[in-house]
Amino acid sequence: MKKILFSLIVFTFALAASAQDGSNVKKPSIALRISALDFTTARDINVNTLGGVLNNRTWAKLGDATPSIGLQYFKGLTSNIDFMANLDFASLQYPFYVSSSIHIPTGKKLYTAFDANVNFKMLSDDYKVVPYVTLGVGVGVAANVYYTAYAPAGFGLQIKANKGSFININSTYRAEMSQLTKAHFSHGVSYSMPLKLKEKKAIVLPPPPPPAPVDTDNDGVIDEKDKCPTVAGLAKYNGCPIPDTDKDGVNDEQDKCPTVAGLAKYNGCPIPDTDKDGINDEEDKCPTVAGLARYNGCPIPDTDKDGINDEEDKCPTVAGISANHGCPDVQPTLTTAAENLKFETGKSYLSKKQLAGLSAVVAVLNQYPNVSVAIGGHTDNTGAERLNSKLSINRANVVAKFLAKAGVDAKRLTSAGFGYSKPSADNKTKAGRAQNRRAELTAVYN
CATH number at residue 57: 2.40.160.20
In a domain, 232, yes or no: no
Residue 93 has a pLDDT of 87
Boundary of a domain, candidates 194, 209, 244: 194
323-341 per-position pLDDT tens digit: 999 999 999 999 999 999 9
Residue 348 has a pLDDT of 93
167-197 per-position pLDDT tens digit: 999 999 999 998 888 999 999 999 999 987 5
Convert 287-312 into a string of H (helix), E (strand) and C (coil).
CCCCCCHHHCCCCCCCCCCCCCCCCC
Return d(Cα 210, Cα 433) in angstroms, integer: 122
**How many CB atoms neighbour CB 322 within 10 A?**
13
Report the candidate in 158, 239, 228 with the shortest Cα–Cα distance to residue 192: 158
Task: Note down the domain range covering 352.
Answer: 331-445
302-321 per-position pLDDT tens digit: 888 888 998 888 999 899 89
Residue 42 has a pLDDT of 82
3-state secondary structure of 286: coil
pLDDT over threshold 70, residue 299: yes
Return d(Cα 320, Cα 308) in angstroms, integer: 8
Boundary of a domain, candidates 194, 217, 246: 194
In a domain, 215, yes or no: no
Return d(Cα 182, Cα 190) in angstroms, integer: 24
In a domain, 248, yes or no: no
The strand pair at 109-121 and 129-142 is best described as: antiparallel
Average pLDDT value for residue range 149-158: 95
The partner residues of 169 in beta bridges, in order of sequence, read 157, 189
Considering the chain, what percentage of its residues have pLDDT values greater than 70? 93
In a domain, 154, yes or no: yes
Return d(Cα 60, Cα 54) in angstroms, integer: 11
Contact predicate 238/231, CB 8 Å: no
194-245 per-position pLDDT tens digit: 987 555 667 888 888 887 888 888 888 888 888 899 889 888 888 899 898 9
275-289 per-position pLDDT tens digit: 898 899 888 889 988
Distances (CA, A) of 444 to 33, 364, 369, 395, 407: 103, 13, 11, 20, 18
Q: Which of 54-58, 97-101, 150-154, 355-359 has the highest mean pLDDT?
A: 150-154
Average pLDDT value for residue range 131-149: 92
Q: Can you give the C-alpha Rg of the chain in angstroms?
A: 54
Question: What is the CATH number for 418?
Answer: 3.30.1330.60
3-state secondary structure of 186: strand
Q: What is the largest CA-CA distance in the chain?
A: 143
Boundary of a domain, candidates 194, 225, 259: 194
- How many structural domains compose the chain? 2
In a domain, 271, yes or no: no
